[in-house]
A and B are shown apart, each in its own frame.
Chain A
Amino acid sequence: MKNEKLIELVGVTKSFGTEQVLKNLDLYILDNEFITLLGPSGCGKTTTLRIIGGFVTPDTGKLIFDGKDITNLPPNKRQLNTVFQKYALFPHMNVFDNIAFGLRIKNTPESEIKKSVGEMLSMVGLSGYENRSVVSLSGGQQQRIAIARALVNKPRVLLLDEPLGALDFKMRQDMQYELKNIHKQAGITFIYVTHDQEEALTLSDTIAVMNQGIIQQIGTPEDIYNEPKNAFVADFIGDSNIIDGIMVKDCLVNIFGVNFPCVDTGFGNDKPVDVVIRPEDVILTSPEKSDMKGTVTSLIFKGVHYEMEVMARGYEWLVHSTKMEPVGSEVGIYVEPENIQIMHKPRSEDEEAASVDE
């Protein structure tokens, strides 16, 4: 990943009818970056991708590519290629002709096309499939043909819209590794859209979490996971305990009457805040060691860890731990200060999704 901005969206808005789908979106994408737009269905991910691809024109705002304004450039003139949500392979052409499509448009000599298509097919593990009809292929195979059809044109940017959405669990995992490899091999920028937070965490250099047409937070997977900026991000990225708390003073938060030392400052004194604690950061102790005492109400074995729910002071705490406590046992709750995330409360309902910290 180079530290140069390749694509920039500046103040982009888009409405369909009366529904404002993108609200003043600012986003830059670095050269060679694997960036993921992550958010719930309907939050505007596809629309953002289509604006970059040129299939949707923004109402206001600009799209800068490599320093040039390409807001009004038609898609066929842009140096990027797309893997569409349902692949959009041409059903009347075989695998070879699908992949060769872009090269033929550029009048590449047929011998060269043959070579390039062969290379692409071997890269996606489908050598020998040249003459197959695309409709006879499985979802995973179609998906790989779609990637090959895009990459054969050596684009500077590949846009992928939920490319693994139609695949079963095992296939998704295999393809995630494959995509990561392809990204490394091709050495180009990937802009990836998904609503699957695990997929985003696994694949991306950078994640932009979106909700209701607004980017909530942008950062590395570690940043997003460990330091969510607001309750929406915390809730969307993995399971979380999101608790009403009161910031007593710097580095001390009161949760349901119990004071917990933390590391956050600058929230003022006696201010209501959202407290986010990841379930794996909740440590169960013997009851006498903590003022936050509770009872285990459920226990599920999840493979690598146990998932428990602990009822303490009227709140059901979600706990992940490799040590199990049987249902009904009395426990104390402890959290390391640096594992407590303090966040401003949104000022209104509307802001629940919209607010980005100031």
Chain B
Amino acid sequence: MLTNKKSLWLSGPYLVWIAGFIILPLLTIFYYAFTNLQGGFTFENIVGAVTDTANIKAFGLTLLLAAAATLIALILAYPLAICLAKLGLKKQKVFIFLFILPMWMNFMLQMVAINVILEDNGIINYLLSALGFEKIHIANTFGAILIGMVYDYFPFMLLPIYNTVSRIDGDLINASKDLGAGAIRTFFKITFPLSFPGVISGITMVFVPAISDFAIAEMLGGGKIMLVGNIVEMSFTKGHYYQGSGLALILMAFVVISSLVSGGDAEAEGGAILP
């Protein structure tokens, strides 16, 4: 057994890490969030964060966008996960690899590429006009950010669902059919309930980063659409540390709450990023 002293030594680097990069920044945010310009204690930054109309609008937009991205990713990922789980083992590995490949590509590059596709003179519009349809304006809109989010977070939805679905014992499905259930009832009574933990972690793993996002919105929204993350970022770059911290704290509360709602499953199912 390790003595207390030894284990302190071993965990030393982690403790320094936690203190320097997690506790300290958190405390700094807390400090600024509850401090006014004169250095006294105040609730003003917090109250301001949730009463300012621009902020309320940004919160609404952020939640709407995150929810929409999560829902679309779920709708796309679920049937795909089911199909993947039905393939042979070798094929499963190849396809999973293909679907998570974009995760390893540089983020900026991904965003630039999406822009090239969506631009007014981009690939989509080129195809549309070539086929004789009217051009659509999608770049730098809510829709563009949504597409970017779905694209970027898709693997985080797919993998946990795939992990749970592929682990369902085939004889449970056989047993359901044996007892008289057809394919549809077997899906709703067996497959879906058993895949539920994966769905919950997928939702968490997409929704949580989506509500705190600012980078995708900045890259694909053309700076016109302000999410909460963008306002926080702007506050800090403009030197408004106090208001920025207040807003950041509220955002953090949202993140914590949505993680808690989904329970501890998220980590368990999302843990294995690679098949």
Chain A residues within CB distance 8 Å of chain B:
53-55, 74-76, 81-82, 84-86, 88-92, 101-102, 105-106, 149-150, 153
Residue with the greatest number of chain A CB neighbours at <10 A, chosen from B172, B175, B177, B179: B179
Partner of B179, one of A55, A86, A91, A149: A149
Kindly identify, within residues 160 to 181 of chain B, every residue whose CB is under 8 Å from any CB belonging to chain A: 169, 171-172, 174-181
Given contacts A76-B182, A105-B185, contact A90 B177 (CB under 8 A): no
Does B190 belong to the interface (CB within 8 Å)? yes
Does B79 belong to the interface (CB within 8 Å)? no
Q: Nearest CB to that of B180 among chain A residues? A: A105
Partner of B174, one of A88, A91, A102: A88
Docked-complex contact A102 and B194, CB < 8 angstroms = no
Contact sample, A vs B, 22 pairs, CB 8 Å cutoff: A53-B174, A53-B178, A55-B174, A55-B178, A74-B177, A76-B177, A76-B178, A76-B180, A76-B181, A82-B174, A84-B171, A85-B171, A86-B171, A88-B171, A88-B174, A88-B175, A89-B175, A90-B175, A90-B190, A101-B189, A105-B185, A153-B179
Given contacts A102-B180, A153-B179, contact A75 B174 (CB under 8 A): yes
Docked-complex contact A75 and B178, CB < 8 angstroms = yes
Docked-complex contact A75 and B177, CB < 8 angstroms = yes
Does B193 belong to the interface (CB within 8 Å)? yes
Docked-complex contact B175 and A82, CB < 8 angstroms = yes
Given contacts A55-B174, A82-B174, contact A88 B169 (CB under 8 A): yes
Docked-complex contact B174 and A84, CB < 8 angstroms = yes
Per-position binary interface string of chain B over residues 43-54, scored 1 when its CB falls under 8 Å from any chain A CB and 0 otherwise: 000000000000
CA distance A74 to B179 in the complex (A): 12
CA distance A119 to B190 in the complex (A): 25
Partner of B194, one of A76, A91, A105, A149: A91
CA distance A101 to B182 in the complex (A): 13
CA distance A91 to B174 in the complex (A): 14
Q: Nearest CB to that of B171 among chain A residues? A: A88
Kindly identify, within residues 60 to 94 of chain B, every residue whose CB is under 8 Å from any CB belonging to chain A: none
List of 9 A-B pairs having minimum Cβ-Cβ separation, nearest first: A102-B179, A88-B171, A88-B175, A105-B180, A75-B177, A76-B177, A84-B171, A82-B178, A92-B193
CA distance A54 to B176 in the complex (A): 12
For the A-B complex, the count of residue pairs with Cβ-Cβ distances under 8 Å equals 59
Partner of B172, one of A53, A88, A105: A88
Instruction: Determine how close the nearest CB of chain A comes to the CB of B171; give it in whole angstroms.
Output: 4
Instruction: Determine how close the nearest CB of chain B comes to the CB of A68; give it in whole angstroms.
Output: 18
What are the residues of chain A within 8 A of B177 when measuring CB–CB?
Answer: 54-55, 74-76
CA distance A82 to B174 in the complex (A): 9
Per-position binary interface string of chain B over residues 135-177, scored 1 when its CB falls under 8 Å from any chain A CB and 0 otherwise: 0000000000000000000000000000000000101101111
Kindly identify, within residues 188 to 230 of chain B, every residue whose CB is under 8 Å from any CB belonging to chain A: 189-190, 193-194
What are the residues of chain B within 8 A of A53 when measuring CB–CB?
Answer: 174, 178
Docked-complex contact B174 and A81, CB < 8 angstroms = no
CA distance A102 to B174 in the complex (A): 13
Docked-complex contact A105 and B171, CB < 8 angstroms = no
Instruction: Determine how close the nearest CB of chain B comes to the CB of A259; give it in whole angstroms.
Output: 56
CA distance A338 to B181 in the complex (A): 54
Partner of B175, one of A54, A74, A84, A92: A84
Instruction: Determine how close the nearest CB of chain B comes to the CB of A9; give it in whole angstroms.
Output: 19
Instruction: Determine how close the nearest CB of chain B comes to the CB of A34; give it in whole angstroms.
Output: 20
What are the residues of chain A within 8 A of B182 when measuring CB–CB?
Answer: 74, 76
Given contacts A75-B174, A86-B171, contact A92 B180 (CB under 8 A): no
CA distance A320 to B176 in the complex (A): 48
Docked-complex contact B178 and A81, CB < 8 angstroms = yes
Instruction: Determine how close the nearest CB of chain A comes to the CB of B167; give it in whole angstroms.
Output: 11
Q: Nearest CB to that of B196 among chain A residues? A: A92
Residue with the greatest number of chain A CB neighbours at <10 A, chosen from B171, B176, B181, B182: B171
Given contacts A85-B171, A88-B172, contact A101 B179 (CB under 8 A): yes
Instruction: Determine how close the nearest CB of chain A comes to the CB of B182; give it in whole angstroms.
Output: 6
Instruction: Determine how close the nearest CB of chain A comes to the CB of B184; give it in whole angstroms.
Output: 11
